[in-house]
Amino acid sequence: MVILEKAIKYTDFKFNSLIKKYQGKVRDVYYFKDKIVMVVTDRISAFDVVLPRAIPYKGQILNQIAEKFLKMTEDIIPNWIERIPDPNVTIGKSCKIFPVEMVIRGYLTGHAWRLYKSGKRDICGVIMPDGMKKHDKFPIPIITPTTKAKVGHDEDISRNEIISKGLVNERDYVKLENFTKKLYQKGTEYAKTKNLILVDTKYEFGKIRDDIYLVDEIHTPDSSRYFYADSYKDLQDQNKNQKQLSKEFVREWLIKNGFQGKEGQKIPPMDDKRVNLISERYIELYENIIGEKFKKRNTDNMLNDIESNINIAI
């Protein structure tokens, strides 16, 4: 029997010179004059809803994967990271965030598949080819941006809508598309070395004066989907589902239990066994993506340790 470990549901630190705090779906962000402190909690969201139970080690896993890939892509675009003073914490530059997320899809799965299955072919102004089946590879990766909703669901949005509504000017948007394609290519090449396929992912960007920075996390199981490369073709040929290294297994469990974040639907109960299972899957994701054994942080006085490590760093 697995003993349920401690998890970080939320933080409420009182730092000197703190300007404001923002609580996202997963991250607690503390704003200072010229930098931000991002605490990656163990909260888990699906269908833009925060689920009732936190998942042990999830925040540490996301933070450490993001650190690796942000550093790996510095030759493509500068990023917001300045230091990592704690396994769950990143301190970095305060950027003016673009109000869209750049989603890029190499395969027909997840949200795109659900639209496709319903008969739709247009997603964010991009026409998906007829005759595809679930998890098929697109002829070329497609970019399907979403809005960044402060409350509720992110919404699909086209390139033309983004520019016409003034969310991002055309000059900057072209740069965001180019960065997105290059980052996805780099992530795809890395995934191949781990017997993985980077199926789809999302990127967020910000600006300091005229310079664009990559922000938040990249290529984590919360922001991306991965398939196993060596079994992909056989499973497709047999019309079987792909085993995914992503949060999709949580979404699939919720759908099976009647929840997709729609009005009136109730989140199914998450017992200790379910929480442990999700934690173990996240550790599996980490070890497959990074290629190293996951080292669990000490959780005895976790919040005190985090606060102390931030105070030393700032």
pLDDT tens by residue, 226-281 = 999 999 999 999 999 998 777 888 988 999 999 999 999 999 999 999 999 999 99
* Strand-pair category, 244-246 with 122-123: unpaired
Token pair for residue 60?
């540490």
Q: What is the CATH code of the structural domain delimited by 1-97+180-226+239-314? A: 3.30.200.20
In 3-state terms the chain splits into helix, strand, coil percentages (rounded to 5) of 30, 25, 40
pLDDT greater than 70 at residue 310: yes
CA distance linking residue 225 with residue 105, whole number of Å: 9
pLDDT greater than 70 at residue 217: yes
* pLDDT, mean over the chain: 94
* Strand-pair category, 27-31 with 35-40: antiparallel
pLDDT greater than 70 at residue 140: yes
Under a CB-based contact definition with an 8 Å cutoff, are residues 253 and 103 in contact? no
pLDDT for 150 equals 60
pLDDT for 152 equals 56
Helix, coil or strand: residue 22: strand
CA distance linking residue 292 with residue 177, whole number of Å: 32
pLDDT tens by residue, 142-151 = 999 999 866 5
- What angle, 0 to 180 degrees and rounded to 10, lies between the N-to-C axes of helices 170-193 and 58-72? 110
Q: Which pTM was predicted?
A: 0.89
CA distance linking residue 94 with residue 97, whole number of Å: 9
Q: Backbone phi, then psi, for 284, in 5-degree steps? A: -60, -45
Long-range contacts, stretch 126-129, CB < 8 angstroms, 24+ apart: 126/158
Mean pLDDT over residues 174-184, rounded? Answer: 98
pLDDT greater than 60 at residue 131: yes
pLDDT for 3 equals 46
* Type of residue numbered 261: G
Residue-range domain boundaries for the chain: 1-97+180-226+239-314
pLDDT greater than 90 at residue 292: yes
Under a CB-based contact definition with an 8 Å cutoff, are residues 245 and 220 in contact? no
* Strand-pair category, 122-123 with 81-86: unpaired
pLDDT for 231 equals 96
> Please, what is the Cα angle at 154 between 171 and 40, to 5 degrees?
95
pLDDT greater than 50 at residue 103: yes
